[in-house]
């Protein structure tokens, strides 16, 4: 499960059927979608849920950096949160959700999910 080509990793190899490779951009996309599911997360790298939905898979991982070394993943997320939510609670939920999503979908092991809060967004009053 080591790094074979730049930014592409083997996650399964079975000589009888073949192998499965994954690019780090895919891992970053998984992290981005998982993080955006947490209530209180306003955006990742300036990308809101609405923008991510419109763009699809073109650039959902903006604000997400992923490093994979020998099957071990380190994720760094830069995000804005909504005003009124507890930062520690939001970050803890994002860390759990991102770790779970990556491990369940790829079989890779997540060592760290680091979060950088870039800003606080104030929701528009209705």
**CATH top class, domain 23-121:** alpha beta
Cβ-based neighbour number of residue 117 at 10 Å: 13
Give residue-wise pLDDT tens across range 22-71. 888 899 999 999 999 999 999 998 655 555 555 554 555 778 999 988 88
pLDDT level of residue 14 (50, 70, 90 thresholds): confident
Q: Is the pTM of this model over 0.85?
A: no
**Spans of all domains in the chain:** 23-121
Rounded CA separation 78/32 (Å): 10
């Amino acid at each position: 499960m080591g790094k074979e080509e730049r930014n592409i990793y083997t996650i399964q190899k079975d000589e009888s059927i073949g192998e499965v490779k994954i690019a780090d951009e895919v891992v970053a996309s998984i992290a981005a979608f998982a993080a955006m599911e947490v209530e209180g997360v306003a955006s990742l790298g300036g990308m809101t849920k609405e923008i991510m939905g419109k763009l699809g898979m073109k650039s959902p991982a903006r604000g997400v950096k992923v490093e994979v070394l020998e099957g071990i993943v380190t994720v760094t997320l830069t995000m804005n949160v909504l005003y009124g939510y507890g930062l520690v609670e939001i970050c803890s939920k994002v860390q759990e959700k991102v770790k779970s999503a990556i491990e369940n979908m790829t079989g890779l092991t997540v060592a760290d999910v680091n979060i950088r809060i870039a800003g606080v967004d104030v929701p528009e009053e209705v």
